[in-house]
Amino acid sequence: EAGVVQSPRYKIIEKKQPVAFWCNPISGHNTLYWYLQNLGQGPELLIRYENEEAVDDSQLPKDRFSAERLKGVDSTLKIQPAELGDSAVYLCASSAGTSGGEETQYFGPGTRLLVL
């Protein structure tokens, strides 16, 4: 079974430019997460989807970040415009089922963003 797929793996952009990250979750997983991981720290949730609905986006900086999961499968996270402080690893994860707390989250390899 294929795991969570993310692309690109690495991205270097200049500040003020837009950037987009793509995630394809494990087949059949209803819940999709986007996390931000700064160097030397644990992941922090940006947004959680249950199917196509964003059920927790309280930590998403909505002035510059946006996300979508139009058909309840793939998801895209966008930053426009990017700032130097956005340099980090962006992780996508998915889990089966909805609302239950015990399900395991499976993570993709992440996209490492460097903003110059």
Amino acid in position 57: D
- When the beta carbons of 50 and 81 are compared against another protein, the nearer one is 50
Residues 11 and 17: beta-carbon distance below 8 Å: no
Neighbours of 5 (CB within 10 A): 14
- Please tell me the distance from the alpha carbon of residue 1 to that of residue 46, in angstroms, as a whole number: 26
44 binds another protein (CB under 8 A): yes
- Please tell me the distance from the alpha carbon of residue 24 to that of residue 88, in angstroms, as a whole number: 20
63 binds another protein (CB under 8 A): no
Which of 2, 27, 42, 70 binds another protein (CB under 8 A)? It is 42
- Give ∠ CA 51-57-58 in degrees, rounded to 5: 150
25 binds another protein (CB under 8 A): no
- When the beta carbons of 7 and 105 are compared against another protein, the nearer one is 105
- When the beta carbons of 45 and 81 are compared against another protein, the nearer one is 45
**Residues between 83 and 102 with contacts to another protein, criterion CB under 8 A:** 91, 93, 99-102
Give the chain's end-to-end CA distance (angstroms, integer). 37
Which of 34, 65, 88, 110 binds another protein (CB under 8 A)? It is 110
The residues that touch another protein, with contacts defined as CB under 8 A, are 4, 6, 40-45, 55-56, 91, 93, 99-102, 104-110, 112
